[in-house]
Amino acid sequence: MDEAGRGPWAGPVVAAAVVVSRRLPRVRIDDSKRLTPAQRERAYHAILEHARVGVGIVHAARIDAENIRQATLRAMEEAVAHLARRPDLVLVDGHDVPSLSIPCWPVIGGDRLSYPIACASIIAKVTRDSLMVFYHRLFPEYRFDAHKGYGTPAHRDALRLHGPSLLHRMSFRPLAASSS
């Protein structure tokens, strides 16, 4: 299991849980950050075809209401709940794990070390990115398609010009500062 979108100023945090029974042929699987977008896309479809996948999504309003850590853990719980079959053990990227009745084993640097965690990082990343591309059509002024909600100079300029949208995490520093 892995997550995407802990850091950005806008959009949801997405967690993915993947159960792979064997290595996938002819696709490169690695930490999603170490693949090119094209490789990620290819891997994404291969994983969906050959593995069991659960996804959890927690939106910006909930991130503001709780905090990013709780929201991320909630997304992870959801991802595991959406798996068709309950696994015996969950390997979680990072040092923080949700409290489930299934043992959750934290693996620091897991997206590089563990094949299933790498798969999960790809599912989470591609799912989140495509959501942000979709949101771009609702709020074209922010260019979510380009930066996916992350803090870039262009995103900062758009915020200055248009103010925050429904999708922005008002509890995050650049936004909290501008609204007060």
CA 51 to chain centre: 18
49 interacts with another protein by CB under 8 A? no
The tokens for 95 are 């040092």
127 interacts with another protein by CB under 8 A? no
140 interacts with another protein by CB under 8 A? no
* Bridge-based pairing state of the strands 90-93 and 104-107: parallel
Question: Could you tell me the smallest distance in angstroms from the CB atom of residue 159 to another protein?
Answer: 31
The 76-115 site mask, x for binding another protein (CB under 8 A), equals ------------xx-----xxx-x-xxxxxx-x----xxx
Q: Closest CB to another protein among 103 and 163?
A: 103
| CA atoms within 13 A of residue 146's CA, in its CB half-sphere | 12
Q: Which SS3 state, helix, strand or coil, does residue 7 take? A: coil
Q: In sequence order, what are the residues at sequence separation of 6 or more whose Cβ sits closer than 8 angstroms to the Cβ of residue 132?
A: 11, 144, 145, 148, 149
Question: Could you tell me the smallest distance in angstroms from the CB atom of residue 100 to another protein?
Answer: 9
36 interacts with another protein by CB under 8 A? no
Write out the residues near another protein by the rule CB under 8 A: 88-89, 95-97, 99, 101-106, 108, 113-115
